[in-house]
Amino acid sequence: YTLQCVLPINNFTEKIYVFLWFWFAILGVLTTLNTLQWALNTILPMRRVNYIKQYLKALRLISSTEERDCARFVNNTLGADGVFILHVVSKIASDLIALDVTATLWKNYRQAKITGTEEDVNRLLETVNRGSTVV
């Protein structure tokens, strides 16, 4: 009887498993860091305001005198969930769509603020949320 030595095959599979172990370890660290970044961007109010402010400045819809109004818009009207949705839209669709949505929300907020109180803005957003459907 002749038997073939399986030691070279074992060495080969060991190298594959070591590579896979390091690969999964690196992916785990990167996933953890990315999750922390998303959590910080969603939880910290200043980061939320800066994120929306960069969009509004890119569209030239906000001046330096309106920055306090922008913070009020982000914290009181959009909230953490609204900014999170805009983050998701920019990552999944594109920044252009997120810019367009942000511009529309800002213009609606300003118009409602000019014509009424901030409660009107919240009612407007509730109406938009009830009338929209997920596509």
Comparing 13 with 132, which gets the higher pLDDT? Answer: 13
Confidence of residue 22 (pLDDT cuts 50, 70, 90): very high
pTM above 0.85, yes or no: no
How far is it, in rounded angstroms, from Cα 106 to Cα 121? 10
Sign of CA dihedral 72, 121, 95, 56: negative
What mean pLDDT is reported for the chain? 85
Q: What is the pLDDT of residues 35-46, one digit of tens each?
A: 999 889 888 999
Question: For the residues 100-111, what does the mean pLDDT come to?
Answer: 90
In the block, residue with structure tokens 């009830």: 130
Query: Residue 28 pLDDT > 90, yes or no?
Result: yes
Query: Residue 75 pLDDT > 70, yes or no?
Result: yes
Q: How far is CA 59 from the centre of its chain?
A: 19
Query: Residue 133 pLDDT > 70, yes or no?
Result: no
With 0-12 / 13-18 / 19 or more C-beta atoms within 10 angstroms meaning exposed / middle / buried, residue 70 is buried
Please answer whether residues 21 and 64 qualify as being in contact, where contact means their C-beta atoms are separated by less than 8 angstroms: no
